[in-house]
Structure 1
Amino acid sequence: MEIVCEPEDDVFLAIAKAMDEMVEDSVDCYWVTRCFVKQLNSKFRDSLPQLPKAFEQYLNLEDSRLLSHLKACSAVSKLPYDLWFKRCFAGCLPESSLQRVWDKVVSGSCKILVFVAVEILLTFKMKVMALNSAEKITKFLENIPQDSSDAIVSKAIDLWHKHCGTPVHSA
């Protein structure tokens, strides 16, 4: 018997794999993953499809030249949005960095995902600007170097505060 995985299953499995590194007990891992994915699919159902457009807007504010390069390479529509926004960077960032991002998502801000994506582009601007095809840019962004992920997340949180204001609980 062949088991067919739906795209939602791939999202669940990617998040579960990352969550498994964060949660010691496998039963807890399942339930935490299930609740996390359920929140994504219910609370952020209307917001998630808007994130690529928000990404483009904020990247334009931060570095319009970089966005122009992506457009010139026809890469904007081919960026790894599913990896970034549906999987919440599971399989892209190491778990230590994911925890900080997912904490914001669980707290109610899926928009943090946009700023992580923007910061990835800003961090690797020189590399991305040197690539001249959508395929090469996408391939690079799907496999970014892990060693700068903590700095990327810290800068993304700063960008999130800059554009969305300081949350009440951190004031």
Structure 2
Amino acid sequence: MAEDPPRNFRSAYYEKVGFRGVEEKKSLEILLKENPLDVEKLSTFSQRFPLPSMYRIHVWKVLLGILPPHSDSHTLVGGYRREQYQDVLEALTVMRFIQRATPQTQVYLRMFQLESQLLPRCSETTPPDSKDEDFLSIARSMEEIVEDPVDCYWLIKCFVNQFSNKFGDSIPHLPKSLEHYLSVEDPRLLNHLRTTGALAMLPYSLWFRRCFAGCLPESSLQRVWDKVISGSCKILVFVAVEILLSCKIMMMKTNRPEGVVNFLYNMPQENTDAIVSKAIDLWHKYCGTPMHPV
């Protein structure tokens, strides 16, 4: 107990001088030194705090099961992942599904289709359907976050699979959750959106099926994905709520739902960090804050 006041003093001091994440970073480094890694504690940490950029990709890979909890196996497993990537890539090249000029995100899609046993015949190749477009949108954003193509593919694949398997049944209900929380935060805005018909036209697919890929810049998006990867799809609802609240003045001035929707599809990018920060605060307010992992 005697150590608590100094620790709290340090935390307050670091926050005051602009080093809010110093204590959190130390806590994460302690977690990452454990062997085996405690995936539950890493998940709890990611739910409560933003991941430092230097550790984000590594933590994502552990939480998504790309790397096992036993740290001494990471090099070996990483080698297997790279070999599998190359094998699938070569198979698609031999089958002439991809060539040197094929965009990288299209390559990732074909790899995903082959491994999921969804690859069409060459003669039956059709334009991407809505699920393919969701995948491609997530892939384009992940490509901006992750430099290594092997890591990038595995993160896209496991992110998409985890999201579908874990939250697939919840996604259709997220628009109703959005209405509920918006009715609490700003009933007047909700009523305006309903009255003008804009509520039914909101870009739910972009927000909820693509997890804001293509909507938020990657610097803001990865903070949202920290929460999704560590186990919460509800964060998507609160990001949507805060986007609507941040655009309230513009939306209240128009009775044309098309104007609202066009604005949301092409929303300004300069204040998205503030929107995401407010969304995370709102998420903690309504959904609670996990206990400190260490």
TM bucket normalised to smaller: over 0.9
Measured after TM superposition, the shift of residue 100 of structure 1 is: 0.3
1:134 and 1:169 map into 2 onto residues whose CA distance is 43
Q: Which runs of 5+ in 1 are unaligned?
A: none
Residue 279 of structure 2 is aligned to residue 128 of structure 1: no
Q: Give the TM-score of the pair, scaled to structure 1.
A: 0.96
* 1:1-43 residue CA offsets vs partner (Å, 9 max, x unmatched): 6532111110010000000011011121111011111111100
How does 1:9-24 map onto structure 2 within 5 Å? 9-24=132-147
Larger radius of gyration: 2
> What residue number does 2:127 align with?
4
Distance 2:272 2:220 in 1: 6
Taking a change above 3 Å as real, the CA distance of residues 170 and 83 of structure 1, as seen in their structure-2 partners, is farther
Q: 1: distance between equivalents of 2:290 and 2:138?
A: 26
Please give the alpha-carbon distance, in whole angstroms, between the structure 2 residues aligned to 1:16 and 1:110. 18
| Other structure's SS at 1:43 match | helix
- Cross-structure match for 1:160: 283
Structure 1 match to 2:172: 49
Instruction: Select between 16-25 and 125-134 the one with higher mean Cα deviation.
Output: 125-134
Could you tell me which residue of structure 1 aligns to residue 201 of structure 2? Answer: 78
Match of 1:28 among 151, 156, 168: 151
> CA shift at 1:169, angstroms?
3.8
Equivalent position amino acid for 1:15 in 2: I
* Partner of residue 272, structure 2: 149
Q: 1:133 Cα deviation (Å)? A: 1.3
Which residue identity does 1:128 align to in structure 2? M
Deviates more, 1:67-76 or 1:129-138: 129-138
> CA 1:50/1:169 → structure 2, altered by over 3 Å: closer, same or farther?
farther
**1:168 CA drift (Å):** 2.4
Query: Normalising by the residue count of structure 2, what TM-score does the alignment of the two structures yield?
Result: 0.57
Indicate yes or no: 2:221 matched with 1:98.
Answer: yes
- The structure showing larger relative contact order (alpha-carbon pairs under 8 Å, at least 6 residues apart) is 1
Partners of 1:131 and 1:141 in 2: CA distance: 13
Shift of 1:170: 6.9
What is the aligned partner in structure 1 of residue 108 from structure 2? none
- Deviation sequence 1:148-171 (CA, Å, 0-9, x none): 000000000000011111122479
Of residues 56-65 and 127-136 in structure 1, the stretch that sits farther from structure 2 once superposed is 127-136
Paired with 2:292 and 2:129, the residues of 1 have a C-alpha distance of 38
Counterpart of 2:242? Answer: 119
Runs of 4 or more consecutive aligned structure 1 residues displaced over 3 Å after TM superposition:
none
Aligned to 2:181: 58
Structure 2 counterpart of 1:34, one-letter code? K
Give 1:130 shift. 1.2
Tell me, in whole angstroms, the C-alpha distance in 1 between the residues paired with 2:200 and 2:256.
12
Please list every run of 5 or more consecutive structure 2 residues that lacks an aligned counterpart in the other structure: 1-122
